């Protein structure tokens, strides 16, 4: 693998990571807004208005926690991918021993049973 391919992989990784992050934020925002609309109606009802406010707060906290966790895992996986790509880049920078021509390589020994 050459340095250009590694650069493309790094760019693809960044693009995917940013897309997942933006998607999680957008979906969480939509979910919060939809839930708020329902709770806005429920809080107007005399008997269940007060409990609905408490339940809405709990649901919003759970929603924030779930999507925050997804974003955290996304960033963690991005860091792992960065580390792997950094290691690969470092290996490309290491000098390599020249491979002997085919005629100078030791012949493979026959495997038993073959």
What's the pTM value of the predicted model, to 2 decimals? 0.71
- What domain count does the chain have? 1
Q: Which pLDDT value is given to residue 108?
A: 54
Residue 85: inside a domain: yes
Residue 98: inside a domain: no
Structure tokens given for 107 = 């012949």
Does the structure show a pLDDT above 90 at 1? no
Residue 111: inside a domain: no
Residue 102: inside a domain: no
Residue 101: inside a domain: no
In angstroms, the CA 33 to CA 27 distance is 10
Q: How far is CA 1 from CA 13, 22, 54, in A?
A: 16, 30, 56
Give the other-Cβ count within 10 Å of 24's Cβ: 19
User: Quick one: pLDDT band at residue 92, thresholds 50, 70, 90?
Assistant: confident
pLDDT in tens, 55-86: 999 999 999 999 999 999 999 999 999 999 99
Token look-up 């008997």 returns 47
Residue 77: inside a domain: yes
Domain that holds residue 15: 3-93
pLDDT in tens, 7-66: 999 999 999 999 999 999 999 999 999 999 999 999 999 999 999 999 999 999 999 999
């Amino acid at each position: 693998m050459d340095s250009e391919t590694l650069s493309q992989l790094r760019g693809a990784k960044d693009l995917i990571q940013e897309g997942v992050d933006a998607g999680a934020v957008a979906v969480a925002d939509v979910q919060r807004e939809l839930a708020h609309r329902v709770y806005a109606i429920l809080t107007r009802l005399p008997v269940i208005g007060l409990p609905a406010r408490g339940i809405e707060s709990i649901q919003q906290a759970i929603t924030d926690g779930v999507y925050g966790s997804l974003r955290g895992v996304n960033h963690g996986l991005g860091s792992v991918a960065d580390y792997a790509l950094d290691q690969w880049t470092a290996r490309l920078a290491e000098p390599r021993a020249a491979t002997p021509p085919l005629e100078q390589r030791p012949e493979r020994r026959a495997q038993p049973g073959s």
